[in-house]
Amino acid sequence: MDASGPLGDFLRARRARLRPEDVGLRDFGPRRRVPGLRREELAQLAGVGVSYYARLEQGQSRSASPDVLEAIARALRLDPAEQEHLERLAKASRRTPKARRRKPEQVTTETLDLLRALDGTPALVLGRRTDVLAWNELGHALLAGHIDPALPDDPAQRPNTSRMIFLDEHCRELYTDWNRKARAVVGNLRIAVGLHPEDPELAALIGELSMKSPEFVALWADHRVAPCDAASYDLQHPLVGKVTVTQQTLGIVRSPEQSLIAMTTPAGSSSEAALKLLRQAVGTDDRHRTASQSGAAVIPAV
């Protein structure tokens, strides 16, 4: 990222995604030195001055009006999530960011009660940085049975789903189409950065993933924005084999920066049967540990 900031980076990435023929332009000019539309072509499509648009991309102008942003969004063919992200970035660029460390996120008693009530449904609560703030027994067993289930209770050791997807070999093997899941995680992280541009711990997470994962670097450079609202994934679980779940992200009204993630299966499906087997295995394992007072070590979160 250069001095143009997140807004300029996003505009350039989206402009590079478009070709002249995509937007009805005929290219009679010399061979292109950069992919996608030129600045002057994008400015023409948006109906704004070339110099003004160039300053916007370079971070030298912070006064784009809602009408101008809407015109640029149309020219770039942004979807609703991308347009909302553009507006957030423009708003953030108008103020001087002041990094501040927030208090550790906490899950309300009511939300914990809800997790326990979802006994037959794998579920977890994520914070604004995709930290696991809490999970129920089945959610832990399905996604991260190899780590200590009590880690979310300690803010200093909480598992982070984005970190796990890119740096935990178990998660790479769990998702049959790991690349698709990784793209979804990065698209969601882009939204998180737009919502919380002053969060130093979120910035540190992005920096860590950039240092440790070449796959993350490639996906992050694409600037793709996509909310993780509902999606189906095929899992290959080490205990019960193939499971297809639909992951749904639900907002928590009393804690708007947190999300409840629930994973469901079709009624009567083999995936539903697999989850029932996993639930039985987890219950049996817990009873065995309690009876034997086992001191077996657990694998720490990455």
Quick one: pLDDT at residue 27?
A: 60
User: What percent of the chain is predicted at pLDDT more than 70?
Assistant: 85
Q: Which two tokens stand for residue 31?
A: 């061979």
Question: Which CATH number fits the domain 5-93, given the four candidates 3.40.50.410, 3.50.50.60, 3.40.50.10190, 1.10.260.40?
Answer: 1.10.260.40
- pLDDT above 80: residue 227: no
Kindly state the average pLDDT of the residues 19-23.
74
- Provide the pLDDT for residue 5: 79
In CATH, which of 3.40.50.10800, 3.30.450.180, 3.40.50.300, 3.20.20.60 is domain 109-292? Answer: 3.30.450.180
Which residues are 128's β-sheet partners? Answer: none
DSSP assignments along 243-277, one per residue: EEEEEEEEE-TTSTT-EEEEEE--TTSHHHHHHHH
Residue 95's pLDDT band, with cuts at 50, 70 and 90, is low
Residues 212 and 206 sit within 8 Å (Cβ to Cβ)? no
Mean pLDDT (the chain, rounded)? 84
> In this structure, what token pair is assigned to residue 153?
């209770």
Rounded mean pLDDT of 259-288?
Answer: 87
Amino acid letter, residue 186: V
pLDDT beyond 50 at 280: yes
**Residue ranges per domain, the chain?**
5-93, 109-292
Does residue 29 carry a pLDDT above 60? Answer: no
Question: pLDDT of 105-160, one tens digit each?
Answer: 999 999 999 999 998 899 999 999 999 999 999 999 999 999 999 999 999 999 99
Six token digits for residue 138: 């089945």
Higher-confidence position of 229 and 297 = 229
Helix (H, G, I), strand (E, B) or coil at 242: strand
Write the pLDDT tens digit of every residue in 163-218: 999 999 999 999 999 999 999 999 999 989 888 888 889 989 999 999 999 999 99
The predicted model gives 229-234 an average pLDDT of 91
Confidence of residue 62 (pLDDT cuts 50, 70, 90): low
* Least reliable range by pLDDT among 2-11, 128-137, 229-238: 2-11
**Res 284: pLDDT:** 56
* Residue 243 CB partners (closer than 8 Å, separation 6+): 142, 234, 235, 236, 237, 265, 271, 274, 275, 278
What is the per-residue pLDDT for 293?
A: 36
